[in-house]
Amino acid sequence: MKAIDTAIPDVKIIEPTVFADDRGFFFESFSQVKFEAATGLSPTFVQDNHSRSGKGVLRGLHYQLPPRAQAKLVRVVIGEVYDVAVDIRRSSPTFGQWVGVLLSEENKRQLWIPEGFAHGFLTLSDRVEFLYKTTDYYAPESDRGIRWDDPTLAIDWKTAIDDLTLSGKDQRQPLLADAEIFD
């Protein structure tokens, strides 16, 4: 397992060591010891989530406020997504910046998203199954979001945005300037 810094160093791409042969492949999708060695971080994960979506589904941008803030380790087991993390920590030198990474069943990459970041993804294949480990439980009272198409963020979703499927909740999220975010 190795960790690769992104343009925002707190967000990391995790590449597992994959053993493949004519039978298929094997890899450890998570090992606490190897994750700590690769990243220098020692999160405690308390919840695993699994979502399934069709092509053109955009989920996000979501986060939870303290005291129920969540860090996430996300990956794709079927299909392909464009995964985005946005720094929403006002005191951060990278506040308002975002990184996007292609995650797929083929590349087996994962993305580490620390507390203080909004997260979202756009599905690029007909079927996507997406897994995420979180460091706190889902807490509706702390659940917040930002619009996926906020012009100040100018996220390049890497695809035509003509025919997306979003939840009503995600369509109504505030712009970053109006959102309740981290200090």
Catalytic residue among 50, 62, 137, 138: 62
Decide if 132 is catalytic.
yes
Strand 58-64 with 143-145, pairing:
antiparallel
Alpha carbon 53 to chain centroid distance? 15
Q: Which residues contact residue 11 at a Cβ distance below 8 angstroms, ignoring those fewer than 6 apart?
A: 85, 99, 111, 112, 113, 114, 117
CA distances from 10 to 36, 40, 116, 175, 179 (A): 14, 11, 10, 23, 22
Are 100 and 155 in contact, with CB atoms under 8 Å apart?
yes
Catalytic residue among 63, 119, 132, 137: 132
Report d(CA 111, CA 12) in Å as an integer. 6
Query: Where does the chain have alpha helices with state H?
Result: 32-39, 168-171
Q: Which residues are catalytic?
A: 62, 132
